[in-house]
């Protein structure tokens, strides 16, 4: 039982994190982004504006995402030393769009047509 305690605490933390918008340090995120940037014209102020805009959008649209999407994206953003609201928002938008795809377009479904072209392979274009 003591070995399960860290797992239970981690899981409960992720569930709680999914219910509220995560709190990230915009300054830390933008400092790390500036250090990694290859664009000399993009400063910390630009990054902070993007992060603040993404945070505002998340606050407005948080309820639109499922608890699974919120938890997965919070976990994904938390993998980095300097998690980002822009990354979280992008993750959630992509997760929502992926969920809304028609079933037959998803890879791995029984009706998926990925990989079938309808042409004969190995005929070099001759019939």
DSSP assignment, residue 126? Answer: -
**Residue 74 has what pLDDT?**
87
Can you tell me the distance from the alpha carbon of 10 to that of 49, in angstroms, rounded to the nearest whole number?
31
Those residues of the chain that have pLDDT short of 70 are: 1-18, 108-127
Please give the pLDDT value at position 61.
94
Per-domain boundaries in the chain: 14-98
What is the number of alpha carbons within 13 Å of residue 71 lying toward its C-beta? 11
**What are the tokens at 70?**
């919120």
pTM: 0.64
């Amino acid at each position: 039982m003591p070995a399960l305690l860290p797992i239970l605490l981690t899981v409960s933390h992720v569930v709680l994190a999914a219910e509220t918008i995560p709190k990230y340090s915009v300054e830390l995120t933008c400092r790390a982004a500036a250090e990694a940037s290859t664009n000399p014209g993009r400063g910390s102020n630009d990054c902070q504006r993007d992060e603040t805009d993404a945070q505002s959008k998340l606050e407005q649209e948080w309820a639109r995402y499922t608890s699974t999407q919120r938890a997965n994206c919070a976990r994904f953003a938390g993998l980095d030393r300097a998690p980002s609201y822009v990354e979280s928002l992008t993750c959630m938008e992509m997760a929502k769009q992926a969920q809304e795809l028609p079933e037959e377009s998803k890879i791995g479904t029984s009706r998926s047509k990925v990989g079938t072209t309808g042409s004969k392979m190995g005929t070099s274009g001759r019939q």
